[in-house]
Structure 1
Amino acid sequence: MPTATYADTAVPVDDEGFFTDPGRWSEPMAEQIAHEQGITELTDRHWTVIRFMREQYAAKGTGPTVRVLGKTSGVSVKELYQLFPKGPAKTAAKIAGIPKPRGCI
């Protein structure tokens, strides 16, 4: 299984770089992952989405889709695409250290 190193910690990831063990994630890792995704700074709005993604994963076993994210996170779909231009659900999941949400290609 592949690994990635964030915040000086090696973590198991899948072939696309998503965490396979979300319990290994920490907030300092998010900054580095965000930089790799082309996001130079994580704002409070980014963190709102990242924490929501982790809460949803913990509750349901998968991250929310963009549509659900836009309706339930308190961040509009338009703003989600501004915060995570390469695809909100997929990018936010990667930064949040959870597996790729079902339905993401």
Structure 2
Amino acid sequence: MAIEVNGKSIDLDEEGYLTNLAEWNEEAAKILAAQDEMELTDNHWEVLRFLREYYDEYQIAPAVRVLTKAIGKKLGKDKGNSKYLYELFPYGPAKQACRFAGLPKPTGCI
């Protein structure tokens, strides 16, 4: 499985996650979101950038509870709650957002 980004083929695993994190770019995120019939807004990008920074620092994709708590700390209580994150990423804030952010599937996600 692969997606075409700016004329370059980017490989995905069987669940649609990038196999090479270094190949991620914002265009890839838009294409992955389009596969889920979503258009990324500023609020989506805020979460995706947060996830990429988190991954750079800890070398792990956060599970949803960790993600919610960490976003609350950094972006405020109104954004650090499951309801808000599920509105943005209905297929699961950790799982779907990590896929769009070019990160591996979080541990503990089914």
Q: TM-score when scaled to structure 1?
A: 0.88
Structure exhibiting the larger radius of gyration computed from Cα positions: 2
- Equivalent-residue separation in structure 1 for 2:66 and 2:42 (angstroms): 20
What does residue 27 of structure 1 align with? 26
What does residue 49 of structure 1 align with? 47
Once superposed, which parts of structure 1, at least 4 consecutive aligned residues long, lie more than 3 Å away?
none
Asked if the contact 1:81–1:88 (Cα under 8 Å) also holds between the matched residues in 2, the reply is: yes
SS of 2:96's partner is: helix
Letter of the 2:19 counterpart: T
Instruction: Note the 1:1-105 alignment, pairs <5 A.
Output: 2-39=1-38, 41-73=39-71, 74=75, 75=79, 76-105=81-110
Q: Which runs of 5+ in 2 are unaligned?
A: none
CA displacement at 1:8 relative to structure 2:
2.7
CA displacement at 1:3 relative to structure 2:
3.2
How many aligned residue pairs are there?
A: 103
Instruction: After superposition, give the CA deviation of every residue in 1:22-52 in whole Å (9 maximum; x if it has no partner).
Output: 111111111111111221x211110111011
- Equivalent-residue separation in structure 2 for 1:50 and 1:9 (angstroms): 22
Letter of the 1:98 counterpart: L
What's the % identity of the aligned pairs?
Answer: 44
- Equivalent-residue separation in structure 2 for 1:5 and 1:102 (angstroms): 27
Letter of the 2:96 counterpart: T
- What RMSD, in angstroms, separates the aligned Cα atoms of the two structures? 1.4
